[in-house]
Amino acid sequence: MTSSDPNLLSNEFRYMQAKHSAVITTNFIRDQVSKRDGIASYENGQIVHSDPVEERWDMRIQARQQWVPGLSSDIDWRKVSDKNFYADLPTERSLNTATTVQRTANLNYTNGALNASISVLDYLRLRNDAPYNYTKRPEVSINYGHFFEQEKLQGLGFNIISKATEFEISEAAQHNKPEALRSYLSPSFEYSIIKPFGSIKTEVVANKVHYFMQDNGYNNTGADQHDITVPQFALRGGLVFEKNLDLIGNRFTQTLEPELQYLYVPFQDQSNIPLFDTTKQSLDFSNLFSYNRFSGLDRIGDTNQVSAALTSKLLDSNGTPLAEAGIGQIFYLAERKVQLNNSPLNSQTDKVSDYFVKLGFNSNHYSFHSTAQFSKENYELTNANSRLKLAFNPNFLFLMTSTVKNYNLPGEQEDASAGFNWRLNQNWSLGSYANYNFTTELKTETSTAIRYDSCCWASELSLKETQLAGGLYNYSIEYLIEFKGLSSVGTPFSDYLNDKLNF
């Protein structure tokens, strides 16, 4: 547990015009505890202290600019005096347990079907044991797409996607990873027919990826350059069947939507190429029809497969979806050879995939969405993502997320997060948040807040418990004062709750 001198000076400067705006925030403290004992952190099973540090600070700039029609820029960048700043000081509660935070700067240009951008992506490390993520310094992209409007060519179109990305480690002296400049070019042609009763689409994609490896002493790929060329061919079609329903005096429409996709991607050996931004795709029902089973561009998975899905929707009289359910599976016609470095071999030889199921409900007062993966052998749950939102009246909000990974398998992880914000009356409101890890049977974070609102100002008192490594916990008390229409010190609980649960 750490504590600091409470005299934290926070400043916020903002301006807003029609075509540009900016917010600059700073926090500064003369920390008497870290001046005496150094900054405390948990490393290798024990609490260690840095050299004495008195002044601790952070600075963040968020800005956007519309230079001319079609040309815009934005930036979200921050600096901190030390890696434990957000863990020790309650300036941004959503970062108390974070190990890294993104920093971005973008310049974007749009002119009709042409899109171009220059962007920088960097990661600010917030723990001494935080991973060294690859930064993109910079990434340049140019994309163009065109669909023909002539009657004889309707449904025919093409796209060209091009990117060049410089992958580096920002703290270069403290890592042993390869670095490279990666270029990517992907032209594609597609033809589609869309009717009220269904659609069909065929597409051919060419993927050209080239790597210029940097001579940083850690290039273990065996060459200075690498090149892969992988085509993709997909044929996808679906039908829509509709049925009118009268329920409780209301008119609804139920749909039944079968869908099939054939996908062929030939094999090319990519095993000697490092993974810069590529991993296995996260759980999502739409991945059944993805052209690549990996995210990123360092692996383009070979396959010869047929994907099948059946979805049913319930629509109101305006065509708004109220409920949705779907099930799908992939049938493999050949073994897959391209894999990540740690992929199990048996997953590449299966004839069919697991079952994927989605379920969703929507109304003015609640929403629920869930995607689940069930084993093809015993139909048991293996992975799931679920989100629930309840807002029965404007004064009460309840949010919940649940994640299950590798259930009853090696590497099992299961956790849930939930929170609510309840306006008790015109002046008082109460909020609470908790995260619990069912695998370790430990609560990782809890927070409770009570808030008072008047016409011109508000104050909020919150208590927070955060799990550290080694079974230790960090406890904090925050008192926030907000002058409405001007500024506030700290993060209101309602913003903290939305950030934590990503709603």
Label residue 361 left, alpha or beta by phi (over 0 means left) and psi (-120 to 50 means alpha): beta
Strand partners, 463: 448, 477
Please give the pLDDT value at position 487.
Answer: 57
- The pLDDT of residue 400 is 96
Q: Which residues have CB under 8 Å from 128's CB, separation 6+? A: 41, 43, 83
The model's pLDDT over 31-47, given as tens digits with 9 standing for 90+, comes to 888 888 888 776 766 77
Q: pLDDT per residue over 63-115, tens digit each?
A: 999 999 999 999 999 999 998 888 887 788 778 778 899 999 999 999 999 99
Q: Per-residue pLDDT tens for 425-479?
A: 999 999 999 999 999 888 888 999 999 988 888 888 989 888 776 667 778 888 8
Tell me the pTM: 0.88
Q: What is the pLDDT of residue 1?
A: 36
pLDDT (tens digit per residue) in 113-130 = 999 999 999 999 988 778
Structure tokens at 241: 């069947």
Confidence of residue 2 (pLDDT cuts 50, 70, 90): very low
SS3 string, 88-116, reads HCCCCHHHCCCCEEEEEEEEEEEECCEEE
Q: Determine contact, residues 495/486, Cβ cutoff 8 Å.
A: no
**In which region does residue 44 sit, left (phi positive, over 0), alpha (psi from -120 to 50) or beta (all else)?**
left
Cα first-last separation, the chain? 30
Helix, strand, or coil (residue 267): coil
pLDDT, tens digit (0-9, with 9 covering 90-100), for 316-351 = 988 899 999 999 999 999 999 999 875 555 568 899
Write the CA distances from 52 to 8, 34, 180, integer angstroms: 18, 6, 38
